[in-house]
Amino acid sequence: MELAFIPSPSRGVLYLGPVPLRGYAFCIIIGVFVAVWLGNKRWIARGGRPGTVADIAVWAVPFGLIGGRLYHVITDYQLYFSEGRDWVDAFKVWEGGLGIWGAIAFGAVGAWIGARRRGVPMPAYADAVAPGIALAQAVGRWGNWFNQELYGKATDLPWAVEITSTADGRMPGTYHPTFLYESLWCIGVALLVIWADRRFRLGHGRAFALYVAAYCAGRFWIEYMRVDDAHHILGLRLNNWTALVVFLLAVLYIVLSARKRPGREAVVEPGDRTADGDAGAEGGRDAETDAVAAFADTAADGADTGKREAKTDAADGATTDAPEAAEASEAAEASETPAAPRGEDEDDAVNAERVKNGADSAKKG
């Protein structure tokens, strides 16, 4: 007798009038918002601009949904194309069935397209959103709880999940809540990536590779507990083999990338063109101001030099021109016809006055 268990919802959809509100879809949508929110914060902290993560997610999310559904339909084709099945059900994503391997692979293609359009390096973007993707998976796994699917072996543990549905061959009872195990594991993966990124300054896609490797490690043992139908190869479920291969590839990438490109990207997104233009205009104004100031200084120096030279020339001219002015005055006096005879004393006074006037005139010149 089970003393405690996690009850499953009686139904996974509510209706708001004619509009169905499905728990599985809500979990996916909330997970996407969490991934974009955390990814945006990490991207800004790396030096990127706000909104870039959301712009690229517009490409990554649809690609991820398509890839996740394709992987599920291909690996579980018997659910849709075997005798008595309706192939149209393959398009009913809201009923569940998204393969994380296909979602990540196709989502990466969409993110690559968006990153190229924005001019940002794909590895840096992947590092920024890696913990957010893990948290999105943690939230999205609760969609399996609403659909009463993807549970483990029967158990009477107090955290067992109760399955009440009999659809698709389900047997009512209490089972290991593998959706809960994976949700908690993904939260741990997100925390691990955030810690390692801060501690070791992971760059060039290594934070994303760490997320992939850590998730695969957990998915391997959780997948081993599940009892839903799956293809087996050499006694292991197909997803076990996929997790093992992807884990090895992620670890190999971390090792090779650390040797080839150590450290972290210095610039993750091109600078704002408007800011660059303003800086250039400001620089131009500063240069113009400096040029005007330099010209004014040169003009002032030239004026001072001119004044000093003028004073020197005036002094020299006064010394040189005084005798000449005196001679000119004497010649002019000699050429004039006196109006009346004057005495010697009077003549001497007149001559002295003329010499003085000539000297004054030379100084003024």
pLDDT at 227 over 70: yes
Calpha distance 107→36 (Å, rounded): 13
Chain Cα centroid distance, residue 117? 13
Determine the pLDDT at residue 15: 83
Calpha distance 219→221 (Å, rounded): 6
Q: Which is nearest to 289 in space by CA: 281, 300, 278?
A: 281
173-203: b (≥16 Cβ within 10 Å) or e: bbbbbbbbbbbebbbebbeebbebbeeeebb
What mean pLDDT do residues 250-259 have?
A: 97
Calpha distance 52→251 (Å, rounded): 28
Determine the pLDDT at residue 100: 92
Determine the pLDDT at residue 301: 52
Burial of 3 (0-12, 13-18, 19+ CB in 10 A): exposed
16 phi and psi, to 5 degrees? Answer: -105, 85
Count of beta carbons in the 10 Å neighbourhood of residue 333: 13
Higher confidence at residue 274 or residue 297? 297
Determine the pLDDT at residue 17: 84
Determine the pLDDT at residue 284: 41
Q: Is 47 left (phi over 0), alpha (psi -120 to 50) or beta?
A: left
Calpha distance 28→143 (Å, rounded): 7
Determine the pLDDT at residue 354: 58
262, two tokens:
């150590």
Q: What is the pLDDT of residues 302-348, one digit of tens each?
A: 545 554 554 444 444 444 444 444 454 454 444 444 444 444 455 55
26, two tokens:
């809500």
Give the torsion through C-alpha atoms of 118, 123, 125, 126, to 10 deg.
140
Q: What is the pLDDT of residues 18-34, one digit of tens each?
A: 888 889 999 999 999 99
User: Using alpha carbons only, what angle is made at residue 254 by residues 250 and 260, rounded to the nearest 5 degrees?
Assistant: 135
Q: What is the pLDDT of residues 118-128, one digit of tens each?
A: 999 999 999 99
Q: In which band, very low, low, confident or very high, does the pLDDT at 116 lie, cut at 50, 70 and 90?
A: very high
The percent helix, strand, coil of the chain (3-state, each to 5) is 70, 5, 25
Determine the pLDDT at residue 159: 94
3-state secondary structure at position 261? coil
Q: Which is nearest to 201 in space by CA: 266, 135, 251?
A: 266
Q: CB-side exposure of 33: number of CA atoms within 13 Å?
A: 6
Angle between helices 122-140 and 52-75 in degrees, nearest 10: 60
Strand-pair partners of 124? none
Determine the pLDDT at residue 310: 45
Determine the pLDDT at residue 351: 53
Count of beta carbons in the 10 Å neighbourhood of residue 251: 16
**Stated pTM of the model:** 0.73
Q: Which is nearest to 230 in space by CA: 245, 215, 240, 218?
A: 240
pLDDT at 193 over 70: yes
Q: What is the pLDDT of residues 129-168, one digit of tens each?
A: 999 999 999 999 999 999 999 899 999 999 999 999 888 7
Residues 190, 218: contact at Cβ < 8 Å? no
Calpha distance 107→208 (Å, rounded): 13
pLDDT at 203 over 90: yes
CA–CA distance from 207 to each of 19, 102, 133, 190, 210 (Å)? 40, 20, 12, 10, 5
Determine the pLDDT at residue 95: 75
Q: CB-side exposure of 197: number of CA atoms within 13 Å?
A: 27
